């Protein structure tokens, strides 16, 4: 078997083709950028089709010893899987590169206009609303320079998240974000997964620390990224920080470790309680404004409330309010307060 520099494959039998698909899948993502072989996707598809042979499986299935049958089945399955992974990496990479190309074209066009407003008008006259966000992102990617092209296999969203993080951290270039956590050796990262996980880990770590978890470690962030197959969302990081603050300070490190080990699940004995969107005073005022004058003798209205299955919620609210009144030690409402409420 011969693997050419342009990633085309010459093979003599199905076993060679099976290996060829694996070899293409193991090509480093940096090699994709250098080779830029536009026929590569078709080669992946052709290779996978060549290995897929149901007739051969049926023939081997009739033998008394099924060892070869199972071996062939495994070989065909892995060939299809590797082709799937390779095609995905190659497609994602080229989509990012195409968008970078668009950004560089726009960066070439804009300086020809004397005013920013003229360039903006040209964009509006020549492109539809659905294109605008794509064009904005294209320029962001292009402005990242060689980093975006070299690591295009990470995908657009990860690259843009890194660029945003670079600005927040006031770094000159994205590479500086990885000073303490180097990017993986791309020659050992055939499908780009190591690259994606490393980027997700860095983004997760920065989001956790920005949310207030200054003690969060890279190892913890890496576990979260591995479980999620993505970076932790900003909102989730803020919720985790709020949750930890609801618990005694000395328990927080262990609780955070447990949260991660349980694949981002809050312990049942330490659940997350979202902060109320409004004060208790406002909630009670809104309740009285909406239903304070409700006619409890209206059987139709009562029937409607009964259909909503409010009884359990009402009982829990009643218990909470009774306990709160007991703790506050509230006095009986004055006649003036009662009148104001009724109004």
Sign of CA dihedral 293, 299, 301, 305: positive
For residue 118, the model assigns a pLDDT of: 94
- pLDDT at residue 54 is higher than 80: yes
* pLDDT bracket for residue 22 (50, 70, 90): very low
Task: Look at 227 and 28; give whichever has higher pLDDT.
Answer: 227
Q: What is the pLDDT of residue 218?
A: 93
Residue 23 has pLDDT above 70, yes or no: no
Q: What is the pLDDT of residue 176?
A: 86
Determine the pLDDT at residue 276. 65
| pLDDT score for 140 | 93
pLDDT 10s digits, 251-263: 999 999 999 999 8
pLDDT reading at 190 higher than 70: no
Listed in sequence order, the residues at least 6 apart from 102 whose beta carbon sits closer than 8 Å to its beta carbon are 134, 135, 138, 142
> Given this model, what pLDDT does residue 277 score?
67
Tell me how far apart the alpha carbons of residues 156 and 98 are, in angstroms, rounded to a whole number: 11
Region of residue 15 (left: phi > 0; alpha: psi -120 to 50; beta: else): alpha
Q: Please, which residues have CB within 8 angstroms of residue 104's CB and are 6 or more apart in sequence?
A: 142
* Token pair 């360039």 in the structure block, residue: 119
Q: For the ranges 23-37, 163-177, 185-199, 309-323, which has the lowest average pLDDT?
A: 23-37
pLDDT at 331: 56
Q: What is the pLDDT of residue 185?
A: 67
pLDDT band at 17 (very low <50, low <70, confident <90, very high): very low
- For 325, the token pair is 């009144």
> What whole-number percentage of the chain has pLDDT above 90?
33
| pLDDT (mean) for 33-61 | 78
Q: What share of the chain is helix, strand, coil (3-state, %, to 5)?
A: 70, 0, 30
pLDDT at 37: 57
Provide the CB-side half-sphere exposure for 198 (13 A, CA).
19
Return the pLDDT at 184.
73
What local confidence, expressed as pLDDT, does residue 159 receive? 94
Token readout for 253 is 């490190």
Instruction: Tell me the per-residue pLDDT of 309-335, one tens digit each, with 9 for 90 and over.
Output: 677 678 778 888 888 888 887 555 554
Q: How big is the CA angle at 173 (ends 170 and 179), to the nearest 5 degrees?
A: 90
What tokens appear for 98 in the block?
């195409």
pLDDT in tens, 257-295: 999 999 889 888 888 877 666 678 878 887 888 777 777
Q: What is the mean pLDDT of residues 189-200?
A: 80
Please spell the DSSP secondary structure of 292-332, one letter per residue.
TT--TT-HHHHHHHHHTT-HHHHHHHHHHHHHHHHHHTPPP
- Model pLDDT for residues 116-139, shown as the tens digit of each residue: 999 999 999 999 888 999 999 999
């Amino acid at each position: 078997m011969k693997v050419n520099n342009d990633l085309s494959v010459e093979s003599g039998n199905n076993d060679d083709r099976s290996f060829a698909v694996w070899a293409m899948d193991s090509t480093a993502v940096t090699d994709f950028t250098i080779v830029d072989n536009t026929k590569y996707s078709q080669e992946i598809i052709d290779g996978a089709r060549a290995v897929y042979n149901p007739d051969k499986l049926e023939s081997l299935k009739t033998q008394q010893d099924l060892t070869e049958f199972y071996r062939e089945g495994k070989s065909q399955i892995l060939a299809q899987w590797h082709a799937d992974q390779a095609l995905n990496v190659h497609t994602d990479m080229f989509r990012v590169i195409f968008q970078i190309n668009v950004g560089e074209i726009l960066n070439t066009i804009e300086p020809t206009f004397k005013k920013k407003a003229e360039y903006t008008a040209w964009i509006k006259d020549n492109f539809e609303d659905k294109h605008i966000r794509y064009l904005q992102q294209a320029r962001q990617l292009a402005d990242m320079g060689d980093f975006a092209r070299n690591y295009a296999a990470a995908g657009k969203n990860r690259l843009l998240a890194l660029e945003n993080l670079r600005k927040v951290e006031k770094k000159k270039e994205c590479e500086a974000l990885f000073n303490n956590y180097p990017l993986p050796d791309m020659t050992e990262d055939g499908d780009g997964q190591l690259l994606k996980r490393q980027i997700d880990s860095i983004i997760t770590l920065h989001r956790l620390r920005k949310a207030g978890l200054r003690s969060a470690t890279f190892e913890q962030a890496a576990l979260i990224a591995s479980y999620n197959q993505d970076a932790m969302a900003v909102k989730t990081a803020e919720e985790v920080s709020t949750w930890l603050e609801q618990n005694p300070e000395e328990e927080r490190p262990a609780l955070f470790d447990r949260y991660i080990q349980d694949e981002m699940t809050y312990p049942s004995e330490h659940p997350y309680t979202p902060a109320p969107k409004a004060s208790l005073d406002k909630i009670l005022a809104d309740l009285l404004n909406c239903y304070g004058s409700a006619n409890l003798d209206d059987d139709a209205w009562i029937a409607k409330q009964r259909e909503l299955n409010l009884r359990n919620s009402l009982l829990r609210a009643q218990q909470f309010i009774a306990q709160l009144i007991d703790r506050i030690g509230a006095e009986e409402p004055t006649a003036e307060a009662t009148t104001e409420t009724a109004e």
